[in-house]
Amino acid sequence: MAEKQKMIKVYLTGELFEVPEGSTIMMALEYAGFQLKQGVGCREGYCGACATVYREKGDYKLKGGLACQTVVSEGMAITQIPSVPAEKPIYDLNDLTPDVGTFTKLFPSVFRCVSCNSCTKACPQDIEVMDYIQAIIRGDLAKAADISFDCIRCGLCAMRCPAEIVQYNNATLARRLYGKYLAKKSPELEKRLEEIKSGKYDKEIKELKEMPHDELSKIYYKREIKIS
Amino acid sequence: MKIPYFPGCTLKTTAQNFEMSAIESAKKIGIEFIELPRWNCCGVVASLTSDDLMRHLAPVRNFLRVQEMNKQGLVENENRLLTLCSMCYNTLSLSNLRMKNDADDLQKINDFMHKEEENYDGNIEVVHFLSILEEMGFDKLAQKITKPLKDLKVASYYGCMLLRPKEVGIDDAEAPTILENFVKSLKAETVDWDAGSRCCGSYHTVNNVEIVYTLVKGIILDARKNGAEAIITSCPLCAFNLDVRQSEIKKDNPDFQTIPIFYFTQLMGIALGLNKEALGLEFNKIDAEDILKKKKLIK
């Protein structure tokens, strides 16, 4: 006979529920019957849609994390948050220059950073968020792009920032500027783009598009990834 | 001598020529700046409120880096943190003073720090490059000069941040002499004038330009009246205000006689025989080469 699933007590938006031990916050919410319409995405820790806040039993600190990646603990208090604030100017990358002046115009709030490191504390991806903000302030966009590479734009950094900086949008712009203007051009990429344009992969793409879901899934998980 | 060096944001962006000329000049006299491997903005401007401790996190984080550099062997037993920018010097110094004088505040800051391996012990000293030169001896600097700045009349502009408040000032706030001594060591002529420690208007340059415009006009007229051919400063913001606003004053008043503004290390570099490339004179707004060519100091 299968072992009985151990249950633990958690508070979801103030109400006590019993959920299976080992659940993620997202699983706990759904187990308790909440239908998630917002703050849910890929469920794999990649998309950054499910940023949430919680308190652990006996700890006054408000912690943040991804609902799909954070495992619940006994006595945890969880609440769902509305969408994360975002200062998001509209820009055309072709009109910009890869320097600090661009940030002065588009994201003046970045210069309010007081180096408290709250953003880094909040980051579920363990990115040194404050360091990339500081790199932007001194115009080192290559460094900012490098440090922020793993950002999934969940927004927890911006939520905790006392200076109301929207770190992840700054980082996105830094990476875009780096990619367009500063990064070394890749001849392999040019070649591949030519191949795509000339229709070299059209047949393969068509086959994939028409493939039944289970078959597609099978080959997806069997695929080999070459990292050179 | 190797010394931990805090560049600050301006010297990495809009005033790279100031940094370049300083680093190269220092090398010539045996001082090697070791940039903090990781640093953050100094926190401009120093917060004077008693309960706004968060503003002191930025300076203290930088002090921790100096402690780390000593542990990592990047510098040997060097508790000084060198600055070039007057504003960085002022902000870092005032925070440091508070940390040294208030054990409770230091404790609070240390408790708040996250992912820092150690506490700030309160033993770092913030120093300005000019103070290092003074300590080394301006006579010693004079001995190393290969190209004396003969006949060049230089007015020393201190601005506010180097001198005030007196607790962190590098010289007497009312009658400073350190820049004049520096000028003499380069064999240039000092100018006796009134406006040397007046305010340039500082951050009003962002949204109250007319204030800066008026102040700069007064400063330049005083320098001209007293025969100055060049003005030196150690503050990138003063340099920016004096340089950029002057060009605007000139535009409005065609008879206005401009004066080139030099970062102190640019003139130092010339006197120490640095290549023109290391000075970045072409980035100075008011033509800085003309007067130097006239005096046969550069080609």
Vertex A45: Cα angle to A41 and A47 (nearest 5): 45
By the 8 A CB rule, do A26 and A40 touch? yes
pLDDT value at position B292?
96
Tell me which chain B residues have a C-beta less than 8 angstroms from the C-beta of A100. Answer: 9, 13-14
Q: What is the pLDDT of residue A131?
A: 97
Report pLDDT for B299: 87
For the record, the structure tokens of A96 come out as 């910009």
DSSP symbol at B195: G
The secondary structure element, H or E, covering residue B105 is helix B103-112
| B40/A162 touch (CB, cutoff 8 Å), yes or no | no
pLDDT score for A228: 62
What confidence tens digit (pLDDT) does each residue in B36-84 have?
999 999 998 888 888 889 999 999 999 999 999 999 999 999 999 999 9
- Count of all residues that appear for chain B in the document: 299
**Strand extents, DSSP E, B69-124:** 80-83
* Amino acid in the structure at residue A208: L
User: Distance (Å, rounded) from C-alpha B62 to C-alpha B60?
Assistant: 5
pLDDT of amino acid B286? 95
Residues A185 and A197: their CA atoms lie apart, in Å, by 19
Give pLDDT < 50 ranges for chain A. Answer: none
Would you tell me how many other CB atoms lie within 10 Å of the CB of residue A31?
A: 17
At how many degrees (to 10) do helices B16-28 and B264-271 cross? 40
Same fold, A7-79 and A93-182: no
| Chain A residues touching chain B at CB-CB below 8 Å | 99-100, 111, 113-117, 120-121, 130-131, 134, 137-140, 162
* Chain B interface, Cβ < 8 Å to A: 7, 9, 12-14, 38-41, 43, 54-55, 57-58, 61, 112-115
The CATH architecture annotation of domain A93-182 reads Orthogonal Bundle (1.10)
* pTM metric for this prediction: 0.89
Predicted local distance difference test score (pLDDT) of residue A3: 77
What residues are paired with B100 via a beta bridge?
none
H or E element in which residue B153 lies: strand B153-156
Q: Parallel, antiparallel, or unpaired: how do β-strands B2-6 and A77-79 relate?
A: unpaired
Put simply, the answer to whether B40 touches A116 (Cβ < 8 Å) is: no
Q: State the pLDDT at residue A85.
A: 63
Given a contact cutoff of 8 angstroms between Cβ atoms, the answer to whether A100 and A138 are in contact is yes
Residue A64 has phi, psi (to 5 degrees) of -125, 155
Among B14, B38, B57, the residue with its CB nearest the CB of A116 is B57
pLDDT at A203: 96
Q: Which of B13, B55, B112 sits opposite A100 (nearest CB)?
A: B13
Rg of chain B, C-alpha, whole Å: 19
* CB-CB contact of A114 with A151 (8 Å): no
Domains (ranges, CATH) in chain B?
2-129 (1.20.1050.140), 137-294 (3.40.50.11810)
Which burial class, exposed, middle or buried, applies to B208 when counting CB atoms under 10 A from its CB (0-12, 13-18, 19+)?
exposed
Q: Which two tokens stand for residue B287?
A: 């033509």
Tokens of A30: 């759904």
**pLDDT at residue B177 in the model:** 97
How many CB pairs (< 8 A) connect A and B? 49
CA neighbours closer than 13 Å in the CB half-sphere of residue A79 = 8
For CA atoms A37, A62, B116, A104, give the dihedral sign.
positive
Report the alpha-carbon distance of residue B192 to residue B156 in Å, rounded: 9
- Taking the domains of chain A in order of start, what are their residue ranges? 7-79, 93-182, 195-221
Residues B223, B195 contacting (CB under 8 angstroms): yes
A122, HSE (Cβ side, Cα atoms, 13 Å): 26
Q: Which residues of chain B have pLDDT under 70?
A: none
What is the chain B residue with the closest CA to A116? B57
Overall fold of domain A7-79? Ubiquitin-like (UB roll) (3.10.20)
Dist CA B239 CA B219 (whole Å): 12
Residue type, B34: I
For A138, the closest chain B residue by CA position comes to B9
Give the model's pLDDT for residue B47.
87
